[in-house]
Amino acid sequence: MCELLGICFNKKVNVGLSLNSFKQRSNMHPNGWGIAFYPDEFVRVIKEPIKMNDALLAKCVRWINIKSKIFIAHIRKASAGKVSYVNTHPFVRKLGDKEIVFAHNGTLYDYWDLELDEFYPIGETDSEYAFCYLLSQIKNNKIEWGGEGFDALLDILYEINSCGPFNCLFSDGEYLFAYKDYEGRRNLYFLKRTPPYKPIKLIDEDYTVNLGDIKNPKEEGFIIATNPLTNENWQPFKNGELIVFKNGEMIYSNKRLSDLELKILKILRESPHRVSLRDIIKNLNDLPQNIEYDESVVKIGIRSLLDKEYIKQDGRDTVDWNDLEATFYTKPERRAEIDKKLKELRWS
């Protein structure tokens, strides 16, 4: 078994605090450690096939000022493949003009029945094989990120998951994807961190830190981990759940309403009339928050809400749903449910 750590914030952040807690678990996962991050459009990966607690390089990573909006870290307990650099997570491949990084927790069986095309593993692990299959399917099916694209991506993850326990994190530097095994055979949690920041206690060591002393008050975002790292309000992933994060915001989930979707619903519920996509984007960016929304992200939220049947496009429209002049309203029969869910607009 291995452990995963993912971070996605609205601003570039330092990962030292989370790594301080994460490294303590390497005593039970001694066969390798690695971290990937995007200081610019290209990924950097640092990894070694040794225990993280014994790694001088890991200490350097924790204390130097590495900053990125997205991090993926992994500590390994080898279950497939020897202890070596090429078998150490995270793995990286180029897909189109993006560098994709991937890390996995679990053990797959009969995965060689998954047919590869163009992308092939360098090492011996089931994890890297699954990554290559994922990329092959994304390319062959011409999947683009968005509501329908995320649904297609989920089908591929389910197919891989059919070979055995499968939790994973992957990113292209813009989006962070987190998926939990559909039978719940591995843990996965997320935490939303928002200001004002307060003192917290690390679970794996007797250490308390006041986040207000070290965090930029305009920073906010999500931390994903196999098991909670602090005494904060961590939320469990649902079995078979794919959550997509961007710029410190949860923008998609197949099992729950994302923060973005809740904000869109709030805008629609507060309006006495139908609201255009153009005005939804404007209203989102007028909210007192540290997140900025572009058109493509808001369309992801709209598409998901349409698919989940919380909203409806007005029948008088003469444009497609993704046109800026398209208008929407909440479905009357779901408004009581929506009003109840709006109380969850921010994770505490």
Percent with pLDDT over 70 in the chain: 98
Shared domain check, 111 and 20: yes
Among the candidates 201, 222, 249, a domain finishes at 249
**What average pLDDT does this structure show over 227-253?**
96
Q: Are residues 231 and 284 in the same domain?
A: no
The average pLDDT across 149-173 equals 97
DSSP states along 108-149 = -SSGGGSPP-S---SSS-HHHHHHHHHHHHHHHTT--SSHHH
pLDDT in tens, 272-324: 999 999 999 999 999 888 888 999 999 999 999 999 999 999 999 999 999 99
Same domain membership, residue 243 and residue 171: yes
CATH number at residue 61: 3.60.20.10
Same domain, 232 and 287: no
pTM reported for the whole predicted model:
0.94
pLDDT digits (tens, 9 = 90+) for 300-311: 999 999 999 999
For the annotated catalytic residues, the residue numbers are: 2
Domains identified in the chain, total number:
2
Say yes or no: 166 and 60 in one domain.
yes
With bands split at pLDDT 50, 70 and 90, how would you rate the model's confidence at 345?
Answer: low
Residue 166: burial class (beta carbons within 10 Å; 0-12, 13-18, 19+): buried
Mean pLDDT, rounded, for 33-49: 94
Q: State how far the alpha carbon of 309 is from the alpha carbons of 11, 207, 322, in Å.
A: 33, 46, 16
Q: Domain check: are 233 and 278 in the same one?
A: no
Q: Are residues 30 and 72 in the same domain?
A: yes
205 and 264: one domain? no
The tens digit of pLDDT for each residue in 184-213 reads 999 999 999 999 999 999 887 777 888 888
* pLDDT, the chain, mean: 92
Is the alpha carbon torsion for 272, 278, 283, 284 positive or negative? positive
Q: Is the same domain home to 307 and 323?
A: yes
| Together in a domain, 57 and 187 | yes
Residues 232 and 289 grouped into a single domain: no
209-223 tens-digit pLDDT: 888 888 888 999 999
| CATH number of residue 291's parent domain | 1.10.10.10
Domain holding 283, by residue range, is 257-344
Clarify whether residues 167 and 303 are in a common domain: no
